[in-house]
C-alpha cells in the first residue's frame, strides 16, 4: 500500500492528457502462483489484492473509470475446483469491500450476465449496487461472466425486441451502445494486458474500437503503480488519429 501511495505522489506519468477510462485484462495469476510453487488459486487471491491497489491508485491520480476483466464467458471451461475457488474469492472480496467502498469513494459496478452466478454472489452484487449507487467520482467496473460477443449478441436481441414492439428506425452507434453492459460509460482510451499474451480474449470488442493497447509481460499479481504509470506514459506518447490525418 505504501508503495502505491508513494507512486501516486511520485506520479511519473504527466497528469495532463490522462485517459478518462482505463481497461485492464487481469491475466497471469495462475503462472504467478506456479512460479512460486503455489496453487493457482493463490494467484487469484494475489490478483484480487492487486485490483484493490490499482483501483485505489487510479482514483488517486484522477482516472474516472477503471474496467477490469475478472471472469470471461470462456473461463467456465476451467476445472470446477478453480471456478469454485474464483467465485468464493469474489464473494470474500465483495464481503470485505462493501463497507469500505463508501468510505473510499469507489463506486463498483458489474458488467456481464450475473444472473447465473450463485445466489450469495448475486446478493452481494445487489448490495454493492445499492451502496455505491450514489457515489460520485471514481468508478470501477468488474467484468464478470463477461464476453464481448455475448454482449453484442444480447444487444442485437434487445434491439430485435424493440423492433417486434414497433420500433421503426435502425439503431445508430449511440443507441446500440446503450444496449451494451457498458451503457453510459465512455469508451476506454487505454487497454492494458499484463501476462504476456497479445490478444483481446473477447474483451470489450465494441468499446475498444479506438483504444490504445499496452501489453506487458509482468504477471497481474506483480503489476503495480510504476507499471501503470509506464502504460499511461506510453499512451500519452501515442498519436491518436481516429482515421483522420
Ligand atoms: C487471469 O489469470 C484470471 C482469470 C482468467 C480468472 P489466469 O488464471 O488466466 O492466469 P494464467 O494466464 O493461467 O497465468
Ligand atoms: C482473459 O484471460 C480473461 C480474464 C483475464 C478474466 P484468459 O487467461 O482467460 O485468456 P486466454 O485463455 O489466455 O485467451
Ligand atoms: Mg490467463
Q: Is the pLDDT of residue 169 over 90?
A: no
Question: Number of structural domains, the chain?
Answer: 1
Residue 97 lies in a domain: yes
Task: Output DSSP code: residue 126.
Answer: H
CB under 8 A, 24+ apart: contacts of 36-43? 40/82, 40/85, 41/82, 41/85, 41/86, 41/89, 43/219, 43/221
Is residue 6 very low, low, confident or very high in pLDDT (cuts 50, 70, 90)? very low
Q: Tell me the mean pLDDT in the region 83-90.
A: 97
Mean pLDDT over the full length of the chain:
93
Atom of ligand 2 nearest to the CA of 197: 13
Residue 139 maps to which CATH number?
A: 3.40.1180.10
The mean pLDDT value for 54-77 works out to 97
What's residue 13's pLDDT? Answer: 64
Instruction: Determine, yes or no, domain membership for 85.
Output: yes
Q: What are the DSSP E strand ranges found in the chain? A: 21-25, 65-72, 107-111, 139-146, 190-193, 212-215
Distance 163 CA to ligand 1 centre (A): 40
Flag whether 58 is in a domain. yes
Residue 16 lies in a domain: no
Q: What is the pLDDT of residue 9?
A: 45
Catalytically annotated residues: 27, 75
Residue 6 falls inside a structural domain? no
- What range defines the domain where residue 231 resides? 21-147+185-236
Cα–Cα distance measured from residue 119 to residue 136, given in angstroms and rounded to the nearest whole number: 28
Query: What pLDDT, in 10s, does the model give residues 116-164?
Result: 999 999 999 999 989 888 888 899 999 999 999 999 999 999 999 999 9
pLDDT of the residue at 11:
57
Domain assignment present for residue 197? The answer is: yes
Q: How many CA atoms lie within 13 A of 131 on its CB side?
A: 20
Closest ligand 1 atom, CA of 70?
6
Distance (Å) of CA 190 to CA 66, 150, 171, 185: 10, 22, 26, 14
Give the residue-averaged pLDDT of 176-196.
98
Query: Considering the domain boundaries, does residue 3 fall inside one?
Result: no
Residue 134 in any domain: the answer is: yes
The answer, yes or no, to whether any atom of ligand 2 lies below 6 A from the CB of 70, is: yes
Looking at residue 7, its pLDDT comes to 41
What 3-state class would DSSP assign to 56? Answer: helix
Choose one of 27, 44, 81 to mutate for the ligand 1 pocket test, by most ligand atoms within 8 angstroms of C-beta.
27
pTM: 0.94
Kindly tell me if the per-residue pLDDT of 30 is higher than 50. Answer: yes
Percent of the chain whose pLDDT exceeds 70 = 94
Amino acid at each position: 500500500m505504501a508503495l502505491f501511495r508513494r507512486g501516486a505522489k511520485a506520479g511519473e506519468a504527466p497528469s495532463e492528457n490522462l485517459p478518462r477510462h482505463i481497461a485492464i485484462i487481469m491475466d497471469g495469476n495462475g503462472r504467478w502462483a506456479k512460479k512460486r510453487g503455489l496453487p493457482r488459486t493463490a494467484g487469484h487471491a494475489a490478483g484480487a489484492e492487486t485490483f484493490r491497489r490499482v483501483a485505489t491508485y487510479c482514483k488517486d491520480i484522477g482516472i474516472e473509470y477503471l474496467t477490469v476483466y475478472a471472469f470471461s464467458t470462456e473461463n467456465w471451461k476451467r476445472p470446477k475446483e478453480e471456478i469454485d475457488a474464483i467465485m468464493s474469492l469474489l464473494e470474500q472480496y465483495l464481503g470485505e469491500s462493501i463497507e469500505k467502498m463508501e468510505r473510499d469513494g469507489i463506486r463498483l459496478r458489474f458488467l456481464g450476465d450475473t444472473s447465473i452466478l450463485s445466489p450469495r454472489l448475486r446478493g452481494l452484487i445487489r448490495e454493492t449496487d445499492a451502496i455505491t449507487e450514489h457515489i460520485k467520482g471514481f468508478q470501477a467496473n468488474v467484468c464478470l461472466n463477461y464476453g464481448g460477443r455475448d454482449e453484442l449478441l444480447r444487444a442485437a436481441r434487445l434491439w430485435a425486441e424493440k423492433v417486434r414492439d414497433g420500433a421503426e428506425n435502425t439503431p445508430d452507434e449511440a443507441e446500440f451502445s446503450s444496449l451494451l453492459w457498458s451503457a453510459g460509460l465512455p469508451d476506454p482510451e487505454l487497454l492494458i494486458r499484463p501476462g504476456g499474451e497479445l490478444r483481446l480474449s473477447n474483451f470489450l470488442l465494441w468499446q475498444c474500437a479506438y483504444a490504445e493497447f499496452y501489453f506487458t509481460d509482468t504477471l497481474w499479481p506483480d503489476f503495480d503503480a510504476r507499471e501503470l504509470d509506464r502504460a499511461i506514459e506510453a499512451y500519452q506518447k501515442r498519436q491518436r488519429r481516429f482515421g483522420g490525418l
